[in-house]
Structure 1
Amino acid sequence: MNIPTADLYDERGAELASVSVQFRNFGAVESFSGPARTVSCFQDNALLKAVLGTPGNGAVLVVDGGGSLETALMGDMIAASAVENGWSGVIINGAVRDSVALGSLALGVKALGTNPVKSSKNGTGETDAPLHLGSVEIHPGVMVYADSDGILVER
């Protein structure tokens, strides 16, 4: 992404929704954008791992983990798979692990926090369905823009 989210919002205003949830940056890439893909899962990362194991073509995976910080939904191995498969970034409404290693990967990663505990791998959840981050509804395919100031989503 070449333009900061603040400037992008100044240019496009009401065309964009701003996610008010406060995420931390974990990846080596602080500014990223792409069309949204979505996963909803709660303390279970099997679907997230499966999606990031497919070609990303510059997309951003937006994950609704229910805001849980009890287990991590992504660590360095899954993130490395995302890099290998061409994903632009991952936004997780939940926790990650291996934060030092994530900081060395060429991937945008935003999450609420960290926890070294692994999640379950039962495959529960849903892919490519609309989800909410705070008051913003995100539909698969809409453009997502993220940087150190926050996250903007096309309405």
Structure 2
Amino acid sequence: MAMATAPAADAPPSLPTRSSDLCDQLGSAAQVCEVAWQSYGGRASASGCIQTLRCHEDAGLLRQTLETAGGGRLLVVDAGASLRVAVLGDRMARIALDNGWAGLLVYGAVRDTEALASMELAVFALGRTPLRGTGNGGGALGLALQLGGAQLQPGDYLVMDPDGVVVAPQA
């Protein structure tokens, strides 16, 4: 079954929505997240401007963020590469959809992957586990992140698709 592609949100009109095309256009300015991402959502790709969040085995702030209007943006979650517990599952993915988020890039684990695959949401993560994290609200929103050699800032343009994850820094 072919998976749909989420439209770009707030995409500068000159930036492509495929990772390979973005790399071709930006050349050495393209930042590739050199991580072995796995796709778990019902959409194979997404592109748009990002918001960033850092948490470690605690999904409280992630939930609070997903409860705000996403406006078609992508949420990049630095969960410290933890595969011990998931910070995202089907319930929070549903909240993301209901609030207009186009996708999530999780540097950590997700769960409820069968349900995630049935949702019209792009979800990329390092792996999966059935255990869930805490919901205490720890973490920070709107930080500069470094994932897989790429620098990510809130407002940067990001493309995630089966070929990889590429960031175009704000001009």
| Shorter-chain TM-score range | over 0.9
Give the secondary structure class of the aligned counterpart of 1:30: strand
> 2-side partners of 1:92 and 1:105: how far apart?
16
The letter of the residue matching 1:70 is R
Match of 1:13 in 2: 27
Deviations 1:74-115 (Å, cap 9, x if unpaired)?
A: 000000110111111000000000000000101100001111
Match of 2:36 in 1: 22
Q: Which runs of 4+ in 1 moved over 2 A?
A: 1-4
**RMSD of the TM alignment (CA)?**
1.1
Give 5+ residue unaligned stretches, structure 2.
Answer: 1-6, 8-15
Q: What does 1:49-64 correspond to in 2, within 5 Å? A: 49-64=63-78
> What TM-score does the superposition give when structure 1 sets the normalisation length?
0.96
C-alpha displacement of 1:3: 4.0
Whether the aligned pair in 1 keeps the contact of 2:17 and 2:159 (CA below 8 Å) is no
Q: What does 1:1-155 correspond to in 2, within 5 Å? A: 1=7, 3-155=17-169
C-alpha displacement of 1:144: 0.8
Give 5+ residue unaligned stretches, structure 1.
Answer: none
| Count of residue pairs brought into register by the alignment | 155
Identity of aligned residues (%): 39
Deviations 1:17-75 (Å, cap 9, x if unpaired)?
A: 00001110000111101111011000000011110111100100000000000000000
> 1-side partners of 2:168 and 2:107: how far apart?
18
